[in-house]
Amino acid sequence: MKYWTVCIGEKIVRINLVHIVVAMSIVVCTFFSSTFTVFQFVNSSIHKANFFKQKKKNEQLTTSIQKMLNNINVLNVKLDSLVNIDNKNRLVWGLDTIDEDLEKLGVGGAKIQWSSIGIVDKLTESLQALKNRTDFVAQSFDDLAHSINRTEKILNATPSVWPTQGVVTSNFGWRKMGGASESHSGMDIADNVGTPVVATASGIITKVEYAGRLGLCVEIDHGFGYRTIYGHLSRTKVELYQKVNRNEVIGYMGNTGRSTGPHLHYEVKISGESSPPLNYIIPGATTY
């Protein structure tokens, strides 16, 4: 076998091919081993960096979700106040109050076991519950608006003011006429001929005619079963089927029909039955 002589420092060493191969193998193994170790280290560092990055992201996400949950709680508290106000208004307008448990459950909702679910599910459930509550309260507001609208229409249609100025000379009910008793279906208010006569509620003119003993008269249909009649007029200011508002002049006091002097015969009918007009005049609700 061939040998070579090499100097290593001050030493002279004889080496052959086997020595060289072994030495090179050691160098190559050391190189790959070192490279692999470095690779492992780098790889591990990257993984660690990613892990911490992801962990930080998760923490930020959890913080954000917690903030959202807190905001949902704030909205729920505000919704509680709205429900409280809504319930008071419902009472005022004659509606049943909202059942608190039903409202908090939400339409089609279910009670949530918070401890058994993760934070993301908790957020999803909270949002759904909030949406259900909001829908429920919105529906209640709609009901209330409809009720107010209907009540307002009924109030507009209810005779509630004096039809003219003057002195009440005869009230609703039994009275003596020429020694005999007769039923008076309305109220008489006397003043000068030409004194304005107004509609006591909004409605539609359903009669403008000479009606025997009532003379020239006007009838208004107010809806909801209410009708008013104005008799003995000298002249009218409205046409058949005309829409009129409360306090709108419909004619003028006169002495037409069976009348002993200028006055207005004012009558209120509910579902066809005559009713005492004074019951429908709000104290202080004078036209003049």
Contact set with Zn ion (CB under 5 A): 186, 188, 265
Cβ distance 130 to 72 under 8 Å? Answer: yes
Q: What three-state secondary structure class fits 135? A: helix
Cβ distance 219 to 229 under 8 Å? Answer: yes
CA dihedral 72, 78, 80, 86 (to 10 degrees): -130
Looking only at the bridges linking them, the beta strands covering 226-236 and 243-244 are: unpaired
Looking only at the bridges linking them, the beta strands covering 226-236 and 216-223 are: antiparallel
Cβ distance 198 to 161 under 8 Å? Answer: yes
- Nearer Cβ to Zn ion (133/265): 265
Point out the residue whose Cβ comes nearest to Zn ion: 265
Cα distances from 9 to residues 4, 12, 20, 141, 144, in angstroms, run 16, 8, 18, 100, 105
- Nearer Cβ to Zn ion (132/234): 234
Provide the minimum distance between the beta carbon of 172 and Zn ion in the complex, in angstroms, as a whole number: 9
Closest CA to 222 of 271, 282, 266: 271
- Nearer Cβ to Zn ion (56/213): 213
- Nearer Cβ to Zn ion (78/213): 213
- Nearer Cβ to Zn ion (222/265): 265
Residue-wise burial string across 236-265, b where 16 or more C-beta atoms lie within 10 A, e elsewhere? bbbeeeeebebbeebbbbbebbebeebbbb
- Nearer Cβ to Zn ion (246/265): 265
What residue type is 27 in one-letter code?
Answer: V
Provide the minimum distance between the beta carbon of 159 and Zn ion in the complex, in angstroms, as a whole number: 16
Provide the minimum distance between the beta carbon of 265 and Zn ion in the complex, in angstroms, as a whole number: 3
Provide the minimum distance between the beta carbon of 180 and Zn ion in the complex, in angstroms, as a whole number: 15
Provide the minimum distance between the beta carbon of 250 and Zn ion in the complex, in angstroms, as a whole number: 17
